[in-house]
Homo-oligomer: A and B are copies of this chain.
Protein backbone atom coordinates (compact mmCIF):
# COMPACT_ATOMS: atom_id res chain seq x y z
CA UNK A 1 0.00 0.00 0.00
CA UNK A 2 1.26 3.45 -0.83
CA UNK A 3 1.42 5.91 2.04
CA UNK A 4 1.21 9.64 1.49
CA UNK A 5 3.58 12.05 3.20
CA UNK A 6 2.53 15.68 3.24
CA UNK A 7 5.16 18.26 4.08
CA UNK A 8 4.04 21.72 5.16
CA UNK A 9 6.79 24.17 4.30
CA UNK A 10 9.42 23.73 1.62
CA UNK A 11 12.60 25.16 3.08
CA UNK A 12 15.51 23.47 4.85
CA UNK A 13 13.63 21.26 7.31
CA UNK A 14 10.78 20.24 5.03
CA UNK A 15 12.86 19.51 1.96
CA UNK A 16 15.53 17.64 3.96
CA UNK A 17 12.80 15.46 5.41
CA UNK A 18 11.29 14.87 1.96
CA UNK A 19 14.66 14.02 0.41
CA UNK A 20 15.71 11.61 3.15
CA UNK A 21 12.34 9.85 3.14
CA UNK A 22 12.55 9.47 -0.63
CA UNK A 23 16.08 8.04 -0.46
CA UNK A 24 14.71 5.19 1.65
CA UNK A 25 11.25 4.65 0.21
CA UNK A 26 10.37 4.70 -3.51
CA UNK A 27 7.35 6.41 -4.98
CA UNK A 28 5.28 3.22 -5.10
CA UNK A 29 5.71 2.98 -1.34
CA UNK A 30 5.58 6.63 -0.37
CA UNK A 31 3.99 9.54 -2.20
CA UNK A 32 5.54 12.83 -1.11
CA UNK A 33 3.73 16.16 -1.52
CA UNK A 34 5.19 19.46 -0.35
CA UNK A 35 3.08 22.58 0.08
CA UNK A 36 4.99 25.85 0.13
CA UNK A 37 3.20 29.17 0.37
CA UNK A 38 5.96 31.23 -1.26
CA UNK A 39 7.35 30.83 -4.73
CA UNK A 40 10.57 29.22 -3.52
CA UNK A 41 11.77 26.03 -1.94
CA UNK A 42 15.07 24.89 -0.52
CA UNK A 43 16.69 28.30 -0.29
CA UNK A 44 19.33 29.74 1.96
CA UNK A 45 17.65 32.29 4.19
CA UNK A 46 21.07 32.91 5.75
CA UNK A 47 22.32 34.12 2.38
CA UNK A 48 19.68 36.83 1.98
CA UNK A 49 21.71 39.68 3.48
CA UNK A 50 24.41 38.98 0.91
CA UNK A 51 21.89 39.37 -1.88
CA UNK A 52 20.73 42.65 -0.38
CA UNK A 53 24.33 43.82 -0.29
CA UNK A 54 24.84 42.86 -3.93
CA UNK A 55 27.40 40.19 -3.13
CA UNK A 56 25.21 37.31 -4.33
CA UNK A 57 23.20 38.06 -7.45
CA UNK A 58 20.80 37.00 -8.94
CA UNK A 59 18.81 35.83 -5.97
CA UNK A 60 18.19 32.35 -7.30
CA UNK A 61 21.82 31.53 -6.53
CA UNK A 62 20.46 31.11 -3.02
CA UNK A 63 18.26 28.21 -4.12
CA UNK A 64 19.98 24.92 -3.38
CA UNK A 65 17.58 22.71 -5.37
CA UNK A 66 14.79 23.73 -7.72
CA UNK A 67 11.29 22.22 -7.74
CA UNK A 68 12.25 20.52 -11.02
CA UNK A 69 15.09 18.69 -9.31
CA UNK A 70 12.78 17.57 -6.56
CA UNK A 71 10.31 16.46 -9.22
CA UNK A 72 13.03 14.29 -10.71
CA UNK A 73 13.17 12.56 -7.32
CA UNK A 74 9.39 12.17 -7.45
CA UNK A 75 8.84 14.74 -4.74
CA UNK A 76 5.81 16.83 -5.75
CA UNK A 77 6.39 20.44 -4.81
CA UNK A 78 3.44 22.82 -4.90
CA UNK A 79 4.46 26.47 -4.76
CA UNK A 80 2.15 29.33 -3.82
CA UNK A 81 0.15 26.75 -1.93
CA UNK A 82 -0.65 27.75 1.63
CA UNK A 83 -1.94 25.23 4.10
CA UNK A 84 -4.71 27.09 5.89
CA UNK A 85 -6.10 24.28 8.04
CA UNK A 86 -4.87 21.07 9.55
CA UNK A 87 -7.03 18.27 10.94
CA UNK A 88 -4.88 15.63 12.56
CA UNK A 89 -7.89 13.48 13.47
CA UNK A 90 -9.23 13.34 9.91
CA UNK A 91 -5.61 13.45 8.69
CA UNK A 92 -6.21 16.19 6.15
CA UNK A 93 -4.70 19.53 5.27
CA UNK A 94 -6.64 22.32 3.61
CA UNK A 95 -4.62 24.11 0.97
CA UNK A 96 -5.32 27.48 -0.58
CA UNK A 97 -3.85 27.98 -4.02
CA UNK A 98 -4.60 29.63 -7.33
CA UNK A 99 -7.95 28.28 -8.38
CA UNK A 100 -9.33 27.68 -4.92
CA UNK A 101 -9.07 25.59 -1.82
CA UNK A 102 -8.44 21.86 -1.79
CA UNK A 103 -8.37 19.26 0.94
CA UNK A 104 -5.60 16.69 0.85
CA UNK A 105 -5.31 13.60 3.01
CA UNK A 106 -2.09 12.30 4.53
CA UNK A 107 -0.73 9.29 6.35
CA UNK A 108 2.42 11.00 7.55
CA UNK A 109 2.87 14.73 8.06
CA UNK A 110 6.01 16.81 8.43
CA UNK A 111 5.24 20.13 10.05
CA UNK A 112 7.98 22.48 8.88
CA UNK A 113 6.37 25.91 8.78
CA UNK A 114 9.40 27.81 10.02
CA UNK A 115 9.16 31.04 11.95
CA UNK A 116 7.69 34.45 11.37
CA UNK A 117 9.44 37.69 12.16
CA UNK A 118 8.29 39.54 15.25
CA UNK A 119 6.65 42.81 14.29
CA UNK A 120 6.37 45.02 17.34
CA UNK A 121 2.95 46.50 17.90
CA UNK A 122 3.63 50.17 17.35
CA UNK A 123 2.59 53.12 15.29
CA UNK A 124 3.52 53.09 11.59
CA UNK A 125 4.93 49.57 11.78
CA UNK A 126 3.07 48.89 8.57
CA UNK A 127 4.20 52.02 6.75
CA UNK A 128 5.88 51.78 3.37
CA UNK A 129 9.63 51.46 3.72
CA UNK A 130 9.37 49.21 6.78
CA UNK A 131 10.54 45.63 6.32
CA UNK A 132 11.30 42.41 8.07
CA UNK A 133 13.66 39.84 6.58
CA UNK A 134 12.72 36.20 6.42
CA UNK A 135 11.94 35.09 2.88
CA UNK A 136 13.58 35.62 -0.48
CA UNK A 137 10.72 37.96 -1.37
CA UNK A 138 11.57 40.04 1.69
CA UNK A 139 15.17 40.21 0.50
CA UNK A 140 14.13 41.31 -2.97
CA UNK A 141 11.92 44.02 -1.53
CA UNK A 142 14.60 45.34 0.83
CA UNK A 143 17.18 45.36 -1.95
CA UNK A 144 14.84 47.36 -4.17
CA UNK A 145 14.10 49.82 -1.38
CA UNK A 146 17.79 50.23 -0.54
CA UNK A 147 18.50 51.26 -4.12
CA UNK A 148 16.62 54.54 -3.62
CA UNK A 149 16.83 55.02 0.13
CA UNK A 150 18.97 57.75 1.62
CA UNK A 151 19.11 56.75 5.27
CA UNK A 152 18.40 53.43 6.94
CA UNK A 153 17.70 52.40 10.49
CA UNK A 154 17.95 48.80 11.55
CA UNK A 155 16.01 47.98 14.70
CA UNK A 156 17.68 45.07 16.47
CA UNK A 157 21.32 44.25 17.09
CA UNK A 158 21.29 40.51 16.56
CA UNK A 159 22.42 38.45 13.57
CA UNK A 160 19.89 39.83 11.14
CA UNK A 161 20.37 43.39 12.28
CA UNK A 162 24.12 43.14 11.89
CA UNK A 163 24.06 41.39 8.56
CA UNK A 164 21.54 43.79 7.05
CA UNK A 165 23.52 46.77 8.35
CA UNK A 166 26.67 45.32 6.80
CA UNK A 167 24.83 44.93 3.49
CA UNK A 168 23.64 48.55 3.62
CA UNK A 169 27.15 49.72 4.49
CA UNK A 170 28.41 47.89 1.43
CA UNK A 171 25.85 49.73 -0.67
CA UNK A 172 26.98 53.07 0.70
CA UNK A 173 23.69 53.64 2.48
CA UNK A 174 24.11 55.55 5.76
CA UNK A 175 22.83 53.21 8.45
CA UNK A 176 22.14 53.25 12.14
CA UNK A 177 21.43 50.26 14.37
CA UNK A 178 19.15 50.73 17.34
CA UNK A 179 19.03 48.01 19.96
CA UNK A 180 17.60 47.60 23.43
CA UNK A 181 20.61 45.49 24.39
CA UNK A 182 23.62 46.83 26.28
CA UNK A 183 25.61 46.03 23.15
CA UNK A 184 25.25 44.31 19.82
CA UNK A 185 24.62 40.55 19.79
CA UNK A 186 23.28 40.80 23.33
CA UNK A 187 21.41 37.53 23.23
CA UNK A 188 24.40 35.62 21.90
CA UNK A 189 27.35 37.11 23.76
CA UNK A 190 28.25 38.24 27.25
CA UNK A 191 28.55 41.98 27.82
CA UNK A 192 32.34 42.04 27.61
CA UNK A 193 32.22 40.45 24.17
CA UNK A 194 29.26 42.55 23.02
CA UNK A 195 31.34 45.63 23.69
CA UNK A 196 33.98 44.41 21.25
CA UNK A 197 31.40 43.84 18.54
CA UNK A 198 29.81 47.23 19.07
CA UNK A 199 33.17 48.96 18.85
CA UNK A 200 34.03 47.15 15.62
CA UNK A 201 30.72 48.01 13.98
CA UNK A 202 31.01 51.68 14.92
CA UNK A 203 34.61 51.79 13.72
CA UNK A 204 33.48 50.49 10.35
CA UNK A 205 31.00 53.29 9.90
CA UNK A 206 27.58 52.24 11.18
CA UNK A 207 25.94 54.28 13.91
CA UNK A 208 24.95 52.21 16.93
CA UNK A 209 22.49 53.23 19.64
CA UNK A 210 22.45 50.69 22.44
CA UNK A 211 20.19 50.35 25.46
CA UNK A 212 17.38 52.09 23.65
CA UNK A 213 13.85 50.88 23.22
CA UNK A 214 12.06 52.04 20.07
CA UNK A 215 8.82 53.79 20.97
CA UNK A 216 7.29 53.90 17.51
CA UNK A 217 7.97 54.60 13.91
CA UNK A 218 7.18 57.96 12.37
CA UNK A 219 5.50 58.25 9.00
CA UNK A 220 4.20 60.72 6.53
CA UNK A 221 1.35 59.79 4.23
CA UNK A 222 1.94 56.11 4.77
CA UNK A 223 5.71 56.24 4.20
CA UNK A 224 8.17 55.84 7.01
CA UNK A 225 10.24 58.94 7.82
CA UNK A 226 11.91 57.96 11.05
CA UNK A 227 12.27 55.88 14.18
CA UNK A 228 11.34 57.39 17.52
CA UNK A 229 13.32 56.17 20.49
CA UNK A 230 13.77 57.78 23.90
CA UNK A 231 11.98 60.86 22.62
CA UNK A 232 14.36 61.48 19.74
CA UNK A 233 13.56 60.77 16.13
CA UNK A 234 16.17 59.15 13.94
CA UNK A 235 15.31 60.04 10.35
CA UNK A 236 15.02 57.07 8.01
CA UNK A 237 13.34 56.27 4.73
CA UNK A 238 14.18 52.58 5.11
CA UNK A 239 13.62 50.65 8.32
CA UNK A 240 14.36 46.98 8.85
CA UNK A 241 12.93 45.35 11.95
CA UNK A 242 15.25 42.60 13.09
CA UNK A 243 13.92 41.98 16.56
CA UNK A 244 13.57 38.24 16.42
CA UNK A 245 11.18 35.63 15.15
CA UNK A 246 8.57 33.31 16.57
CA UNK A 247 7.78 29.76 15.55
CA UNK A 248 4.86 29.50 13.11
CA UNK A 249 2.46 27.44 15.17
CA UNK A 250 -0.97 28.65 14.08
CA UNK A 251 -1.65 25.47 12.15
CA UNK A 252 -0.18 23.29 14.86
CA UNK A 253 -2.65 24.81 17.30
CA UNK A 254 -5.46 24.29 14.79
CA UNK A 255 -4.47 20.66 14.45
CA UNK A 256 -4.00 20.08 18.15
CA UNK A 257 -0.28 19.39 17.94
CA UNK A 258 1.09 20.07 21.42
CA UNK A 259 3.55 22.91 21.88
CA UNK A 260 6.40 22.92 24.35
CA UNK A 261 7.41 25.52 26.93
CA UNK A 262 9.13 27.71 24.32
CA UNK A 263 5.93 28.02 22.31
CA UNK A 264 7.33 25.88 19.50
CA UNK A 265 6.12 22.38 18.64
CA UNK A 266 7.25 19.80 21.17
CA UNK A 267 9.19 16.92 19.63
CA UNK A 268 11.18 13.95 20.85
CA UNK A 269 14.70 13.23 19.61
CA UNK A 270 13.29 11.43 16.57
CA UNK A 271 11.34 14.62 15.67
CA UNK A 272 8.02 12.97 16.54
CA UNK A 273 5.22 15.07 17.94
CA UNK A 274 2.89 13.29 20.32
CA UNK A 275 0.51 12.62 17.43
CA UNK A 276 1.27 9.40 15.62
CA UNK A 277 2.72 9.96 12.16
CA UNK A 278 3.03 13.70 12.69
CA UNK A 279 6.59 15.01 12.76
CA UNK A 280 7.97 18.51 13.19
CA UNK A 281 11.35 19.99 12.32
CA UNK A 282 13.12 23.31 11.96
CA UNK A 283 12.30 26.76 13.28
CA UNK A 284 8.74 25.78 14.22
CA UNK A 285 9.97 22.97 16.49
CA UNK A 286 11.85 22.78 19.75
CA UNK A 287 15.38 21.48 20.12
CA UNK A 288 16.85 20.18 23.35
CA UNK A 289 19.88 21.97 24.72
CA UNK A 290 22.80 19.54 24.64
CA UNK A 291 24.14 20.63 28.04
CA UNK A 292 21.07 21.51 30.08
CA UNK A 293 18.48 19.24 28.50
CA UNK A 294 16.11 22.21 28.44
CA UNK A 295 13.89 22.73 25.38
CA UNK A 296 14.96 25.67 23.24
CA UNK A 297 13.87 27.18 19.95
CA UNK A 298 17.14 28.10 18.27
CA UNK A 299 15.84 29.28 14.86
CA UNK A 300 18.99 28.23 13.02
CA UNK A 301 19.38 26.80 9.54
CA UNK A 302 21.80 24.11 10.68
CA UNK A 303 19.26 22.80 13.16
CA UNK A 304 16.49 22.86 10.54
CA UNK A 305 18.60 20.82 8.15
CA UNK A 306 19.52 18.27 10.79
CA UNK A 307 16.06 17.92 12.26
CA UNK A 308 14.53 17.59 8.79
CA UNK A 309 17.07 14.95 7.97
CA UNK A 310 16.32 13.04 11.18
CA UNK A 311 12.56 13.17 10.53
CA UNK A 312 13.04 12.01 6.94
CA UNK A 313 15.30 9.11 7.88
CA UNK A 314 12.81 7.94 10.48
CA UNK A 315 9.86 8.28 8.08
CA UNK A 316 11.95 6.31 5.64
CA UNK A 317 12.27 3.46 8.09
CA UNK A 318 15.68 4.30 9.51
CA UNK A 319 16.51 5.18 13.08
CA UNK A 320 17.99 8.63 13.50
CA UNK A 321 18.08 10.86 16.52
CA UNK A 322 18.71 14.55 16.90
CA UNK A 323 21.32 14.97 19.62
CA UNK A 324 20.50 18.53 20.65
CA UNK A 325 21.93 21.98 20.21
CA UNK A 326 24.55 24.25 21.71
CA UNK A 327 23.02 27.27 19.98
CA UNK A 328 26.24 27.64 18.07
CA UNK A 329 26.23 30.66 15.81
CA UNK A 330 28.66 32.65 13.75
CA UNK A 331 28.57 35.83 11.73
CA UNK A 332 30.75 38.70 10.66
CA UNK A 333 30.55 42.42 10.22
CA UNK A 334 33.04 43.59 7.62
CA UNK A 335 36.40 42.33 8.79
CA UNK A 336 35.21 41.48 12.28
CA UNK A 337 34.07 37.94 12.93
CA UNK A 338 32.11 36.65 15.90
CA UNK A 339 30.87 33.30 17.10
CA UNK A 340 29.53 31.57 20.17
CA UNK A 341 28.54 28.14 21.40
CA UNK A 342 27.14 26.54 24.52
CA UNK A 343 26.27 28.60 27.56
CA UNK A 344 27.21 32.22 28.04
CA UNK A 345 27.97 33.45 31.55
CA UNK A 346 24.53 34.96 31.83
CA UNK A 347 22.85 31.79 30.55
CA UNK A 348 24.83 29.63 32.95
CA UNK A 349 23.84 31.90 35.82
CA UNK A 350 20.20 31.73 34.74
CA UNK A 351 20.43 27.94 34.64
CA UNK A 352 21.95 27.85 38.12
CA UNK A 353 25.21 26.41 36.87
CA UNK A 354 28.31 27.63 38.67
CA UNK A 355 31.11 28.38 36.25
CA UNK A 356 34.19 30.49 35.64
CA UNK A 357 35.43 32.18 32.53
CA UNK A 358 38.84 32.56 30.99
CA UNK A 359 39.66 35.13 28.37
CA UNK A 360 42.62 35.86 26.17
CA UNK A 361 43.36 38.82 23.93
CA UNK A 362 45.61 37.50 21.26
CA UNK A 363 46.04 37.53 17.50
CA UNK A 364 44.51 35.56 14.66
CA UNK A 365 47.90 34.31 13.49
CA UNK A 366 51.44 34.49 14.88
CA UNK A 367 51.92 38.03 16.09
CA UNK A 368 55.02 38.61 13.96
CA UNK A 369 53.25 37.72 10.70
CA UNK A 370 51.82 40.43 8.48
CA UNK A 371 48.04 40.31 8.63
CA UNK A 372 47.86 39.37 12.30
CA UNK A 373 44.67 40.88 13.71
CA UNK A 374 43.34 41.06 17.25
CA UNK A 375 41.23 38.15 18.43
CA UNK A 376 39.52 37.67 21.77
CA UNK A 377 38.54 34.21 22.94
CA UNK A 378 36.46 33.58 26.03
CA UNK A 379 35.81 30.12 27.41
CA UNK A 380 33.52 28.99 30.18
CA UNK A 381 34.11 26.00 32.47
CA UNK A 382 31.98 24.42 35.15
CA UNK A 383 33.18 24.84 38.71
CA UNK A 384 34.33 21.70 40.49
CA UNK A 385 34.63 19.67 37.25
CA UNK A 386 36.40 22.08 34.89
CA UNK A 387 34.15 20.84 32.08
CA UNK A 388 33.84 23.21 29.12
CA UNK A 389 30.39 24.78 28.91
CA UNK A 390 30.70 27.44 26.26
CA UNK A 391 32.86 29.85 24.33
CA UNK A 392 32.70 33.15 22.51
CA UNK A 393 35.07 34.60 19.93
CA UNK A 394 35.35 38.09 18.46
CA UNK A 395 38.21 38.99 16.15
CA UNK A 396 39.71 39.48 12.74
CA UNK A 397 39.59 37.17 9.73
CA UNK A 398 40.10 33.53 10.69
CA UNK A 399 38.85 33.94 14.26
CA UNK A 400 35.29 32.82 14.39
CA UNK A 401 35.31 29.34 12.83
CA UNK A 402 37.57 28.26 15.71
CA UNK A 403 34.33 28.01 17.69
CA UNK A 404 33.91 24.55 16.13
CA UNK A 405 36.86 23.32 18.17
CA UNK A 406 34.93 24.23 21.30
CA UNK A 407 31.78 22.59 19.91
CA UNK A 408 33.58 19.29 19.38
CA UNK A 409 35.26 19.59 22.78
CA UNK A 410 31.97 20.21 24.56
CA UNK A 411 30.35 17.39 22.56
CA UNK A 412 33.03 15.02 23.86
CA UNK A 413 32.78 16.25 27.44
CA UNK A 414 36.31 17.66 27.55
CA UNK A 415 37.48 19.88 30.37
CA UNK A 416 39.20 23.16 29.69
CA UNK A 417 42.45 21.52 30.76
CA UNK A 418 41.92 18.66 28.30
CA UNK A 419 41.46 21.07 25.41
CA UNK A 420 44.37 23.23 26.57
CA UNK A 421 46.74 20.28 26.28
CA UNK A 422 45.22 18.72 23.16
CA UNK A 423 47.18 18.57 19.95
CA UNK A 424 45.68 21.53 18.10
CA UNK A 425 47.39 22.62 14.92
CA UNK A 426 50.00 25.34 14.70
CA UNK A 427 51.96 27.13 12.03
CA UNK A 428 52.68 30.87 11.97
CA UNK A 429 50.12 31.71 9.22
CA UNK A 430 47.38 30.07 11.31
CA UNK A 431 47.94 30.82 15.00
CA UNK A 432 50.41 31.37 17.74
CA UNK A 433 52.12 28.27 19.08
CA UNK A 434 49.54 28.18 21.86
CA UNK A 435 46.31 28.69 19.99
CA UNK A 436 44.18 31.25 21.87
CA UNK A 437 41.51 28.52 22.08
CA UNK A 438 43.87 26.58 24.34
CA UNK A 439 44.88 29.56 26.46
CA UNK A 440 41.29 30.64 27.11
CA UNK A 441 40.35 27.06 27.96
CA UNK A 442 43.18 26.69 30.42
CA UNK A 443 42.42 29.98 32.12
CA UNK A 444 38.75 29.12 32.45
CA UNK A 445 39.54 25.68 33.88
CA UNK A 446 42.14 27.10 36.25
CA UNK A 447 39.61 29.56 37.61
CA UNK A 448 36.84 26.97 37.74
CA UNK A 449 39.01 24.63 39.78
CA UNK A 450 40.91 27.26 41.73
CA UNK A 451 44.29 26.09 40.48
CA UNK A 452 47.17 27.52 38.48
CA UNK A 453 48.53 25.41 35.65
List the B side residues contacting A50 at CB < 8 Å. 369, 428-429
Which listed residue (B301, B401, B426) contacts A398, Cβ 8 A? Answer: B401
Instruction: Report which of B326, B411, B425 forms a contact with A407, defined as CB distance below 8 A.
Output: B425
How many Å lie between the Cα of A368 and that of B323 in the bound state? Answer: 29
- CB of A376 within 8 Å of the partner chain: no
Is A44's CB within 8 Å of the partner chain B? yes
* 0/1 interface trace, chain A 299-339, chain B, CB 8 Å (1 if under): 01111011000000100001010111111111110000001
Q: Which residues of B contact A418 (CB under 8 A)?
A: 323, 411-412
Chain B hits for A398, CB < 8 A: 398, 401
**A310 to chain B: closest CB distance in Å?**
8
Contact residues in B for A404 (Cβ distance below 8 Å): 402, 404-405, 424-425, 435, 437
Assess the A433–B302 pair: CB atoms within 8 A: yes
Verify B44–A368 contact, CB threshold 8 A: yes
Q: Mark A375-416, 1 if CB is under 8 A from B, else 0.
A: 000000000000000000000001011111111110111100
Protomer copies:
2
The 8 A CB mask of A244-278 against B (1 = contact, 0 = none) is 00000000000000000000000000000000000
Stretch at the interface among A54-62, A111-119, A130-138, A150-158: A54-62
Q: What interface size band does chain A fall in?
A: 35 or more
- With A401-B398, A401-B430 as given contacts, are A369 and B55 in contact (CB-CB < 8 Å)? yes
Min CB distance A424 to B, Å, is 5
- The minimal Cβ–Cβ distance linking A265 to chain B, given in whole angstroms, is 20
Is B426 touching A46 in the complex (CB atoms < 8 A)? yes
Determine which of B302, B339, B413 lies in contact with A412 in the assembled complex, contact meaning CB atoms within 8 Å. B413
Q: How far is the CA of A43 from the CA of B373 in the complex (A)?
A: 21
Q: How many angstroms between the C-alpha atoms of A303 and B89 in the bound complex?
A: 64
Name A's B-contacting residues (CB within 8 A): 12, 44, 46-47, 50, 55-56, 61-62, 159, 290, 300-303, 305-306, 313, 318, 320, 322-332, 339, 341, 366, 368-370, 398, 400-409, 411-414, 418-419, 421-431, 433-435, 437, 453
8 A–B contacts from the bound complex (CB under 8 Å)? A50-B429, A313-B453, A322-B421, A328-B425, A400-B430, A401-B402, A401-B425, A412-B413
